[in-house]
Structure 1
Amino acid sequence: MPEAPIKGDGPKYREIYDRLRGEIDAGSYAAGSLLPTEDELQADLGVSRYALREALGMLERQGYIQRRRRAGTRVLARPPKNMFRHAVSSRGELSEFVHHTKIDFGPPTVIVTDGRLARELGCDELRQWYLMEGIRMDPLDNRPIGVVQLYVDATRATIDENTDFGQQPVYEWLRDNHDIRPASVSQDITAVILNETQATVFGEREGGPALRIARRYFDDTQRIFQISVTTHRSEDFVYNLRLQLA
Structure 2
Amino acid sequence: MTAKQRSKPRYAELGDLLQAGIERGDYPVGSLLPTELELCERHQVSRHTARAALSQLITAGLVQRRPGSGTRVIAQREAMRYEHGIDSLDLLMQYGNTTRLQVLETRSEKAAGEMTRALEIATGKPYLVLNGVRMEEPNREPIAVTEMFVPVRAGTPSAELLELSSSARTVAGFLDAARLSRVEQVFDAASLTPAEASLLGVESTEPAMRVRRHYRDAAGRLLMLAISKHPPGRFAYSMVLSRNRR
Which interval holds the TM-score relative to the shorter structure? 0.5 to 0.7
Taking structure 1 as the reference length, what is the TM-score of the superposition? 0.58
Q: Which amino acid aligns with 1:105?
A: V
- List runs of 5+ in structure 2 lacking aligned partners: 1-76
- Note closer, same or farther for the CA distance 1:214–1:123 as it changes in structure 2 (3 Å cut): farther
Per the alignment, residue 53 of structure 2 pairs with: none
Is 1:102 the counterpart of 2:100? The answer is yes
Compare CA radii of gyration and give the structure with the larger one: 2
Distance in 2 of aligned mates of 1:233 and 1:153: 28
Is 1:159 the counterpart of 2:162? The answer is no
8 Å contact from structure 1 (residues 217, 227) kept in 2: yes
Q: Deviations over 1:175-207 (max 9, x none)?
A: 7xxxxx321110111100111111111222213
* Mean Cα deviation higher: 100-109 or 184-193: 100-109
Per the alignment, residue 172 of structure 2 pairs with: 169
8 Å contact from structure 2 (residues 185, 214) kept in 1: yes
Per the alignment, residue 243 of structure 1 pairs with: 241
Distance in 2 of aligned mates of 1:89 and 1:174: 14
Per the alignment, residue 209 of structure 2 pairs with: 211
8 Å contact from structure 1 (residues 115, 125) kept in 2: no
Which residue among 87, 90, 98 is the counterpart of 1:89? Answer: 87
Q: Which amino acid aligns with 2:200?
A: F
- Note closer, same or farther for the CA distance 1:231–1:125 as it changes in structure 2 (3 Å cut): farther
Q: Which amino acid aligns with 2:185?
A: Q
Distance in 2 of aligned mates of 1:145 and 1:183: 26
- Note closer, same or farther for the CA distance 1:208–1:118 as it changes in structure 2 (3 Å cut): farther
Shift of 1:103: 1.0
Q: Which amino acid aligns with 1:171?
A: F
8 Å contact from structure 2 (residues 103, 133) kept in 1: yes
- Note closer, same or farther for the CA distance 1:165–1:205 as it changes in structure 2 (3 Å cut): closer
Q: Which amino acid aligns with 2:237?
A: Y
Q: Which amino acid aligns with 2:97?
A: H
8 Å contact from structure 2 (residues 82, 143) kept in 1: yes
Q: Which amino acid aligns with 2:158?
A: I
Q: How does 1:85-164 map to 2 (within 5 A)?
A: 85-118=83-116, 121=118, 123-124=120-121, 126=123, 127-156=125-154, 157-160=156-159, 161=163, 163=166
Root mean square deviation of aligned Cα:
2.7
**Identity across matched positions, percent:** 20
Shift of 1:91: 1.8
8 Å contact from structure 1 (residues 101, 136) kept in 2: yes
Shift of 1:136: 0.3
Shift of 1:99: 0.4
**Structure 2 counterpart SS, 1:207:** coil
Per the alignment, residue 5 of structure 1 pairs with: none
- List runs of 5+ in structure 1 lacking aligned partners: 1-78, 176-180
Q: Which amino acid aligns with 1:84?
A: Y
- Note closer, same or farther for the CA distance 1:168–1:123 as it changes in structure 2 (3 Å cut): closer
Aligned length: 162
